[in-house]
Amino acid sequence: GQQVMQIPQYQHVQEGEDFTTYCNSSTTLSNIQWYKQRPGGHPVFLIQLVKSGEVKKQKRLTFQFGEAKKNSSLHITATQTTDVGTYFCAVFKKTSYDKVIFGPGTSLSVIP
């Protein structure tokens, strides 16, 4: 079946360093979503990517969708303590009306 992998599983960075998490799928994707979950909280939507090679920015966060639509990345520039949390990618199995598969997440710790 379809698999969604995320690397790394954990990342510890010094405040001010950059951070990148990668999401890889075994199949071609229609779109991909990214969520952030703060410790003790619920997942919160960050962004959705649809087009091959798409790049979107939100302040210090840069999201990219691979050319083959099988992978995506989230890059944070100059991390802050407010970036702490787990970052998940999520994909629809087939269509937008279908089953959703979440990656296992990347847990980010920021050392002040």
Partner 1 sequence: EAQVTQNPRYLITVTGKKLTVTCSQNMNHEYMSWYRQDPGLGLRQIYYSMNVEVTDKGDVPEGYKVSRKEKRNFPLILESPSPNQTSLYFCASSFWGAEQYFGPGTRLTVT
* Least distance to partner 1, CB of residue 29, Å: 12
The Cα–Cα gap between 56 and 49 comes to 8
In terms of CB distance, is 5 or 84 closer to partner 1? 5
Query: Footprint of partner 1 on this chain (CB under 8 A)?
Result: 31, 33, 35, 42-45, 48, 88, 90, 92, 95-97, 99-105
* Least distance to partner 1, CB of residue 39, Å: 12
The Cα–Cα gap between 54 and 101 comes to 21
The Cα–Cα gap between 52 and 36 comes to 23
Return the bridge partners of 16, or none. none
* Least distance to partner 1, CB of residue 90, Å: 8
